Amino acid sequence: IIEEGPVTVAPRETVKELEQAARRLAKAVGYVGAATVEYLYSMETGEYYFLELNPRLQVEHPVTEWIAEVNLPAAQVAVGMGIPLWQVPEIRRFYGMDNGGGYDIWRKTAALATPFNFDEVDSQWPKGHCVAVRITSEDPDDGFKPTGGKVKEISFKSKPNVWAYF
């Protein structure tokens, strides 16, 4: 399974529409916090279709973290502790807002941050590109049920911006 980000096949204006639709959905169901909204996008027609809203971390969250430079587990914990999402430094930076900076970024941001309306600001276009590959063991001829098997050989080239976990 290959996960890739950021979106490369949809125009930026469409990506902005996807973000706005995701916020409308979260508001409609009363969700507050960091979440993933997934869509299916047709390159042929330019249309997109809602798939799901995930209020939990997904296995591909490192792709989002890499390109958005947001520590999603930390953001979710902060919201769970009652800190508003607009006050999380990495979220503020992602939306182009002043985020304090420095080693004591949380203290500075908490003291100086002012609320902002997510609907009135644009997120920053992600920096870089990320591809994550997940190896699964499923049998497509048996309804994609988990199945056993052996990986006989695997090789990763270690680099500062390439990592693997098992």
Give CA–CA dist 147/149, Å, rounded. 7
Quick check: pTM over 0.85?
A: no
pLDDT in tens, 110-159: 667 888 998 999 888 887 888 888 777 888 889 988 888 777 887 777 77
Residues labelled catalytic: 56
Q: What is the distance between the alpha carbons of residues 147 and 140, in angstroms, rounded to a whole number?
A: 10
Q: What is the CATH number of domain 2-112?
A: 3.30.470.20
Residue 63, both tokens: 């792709």
User: Closest Cα partner for 34 from 16, 1, 11, 58?
Assistant: 58
The domain spans of the chain are 2-112
Residue 56, both tokens: 């939990």
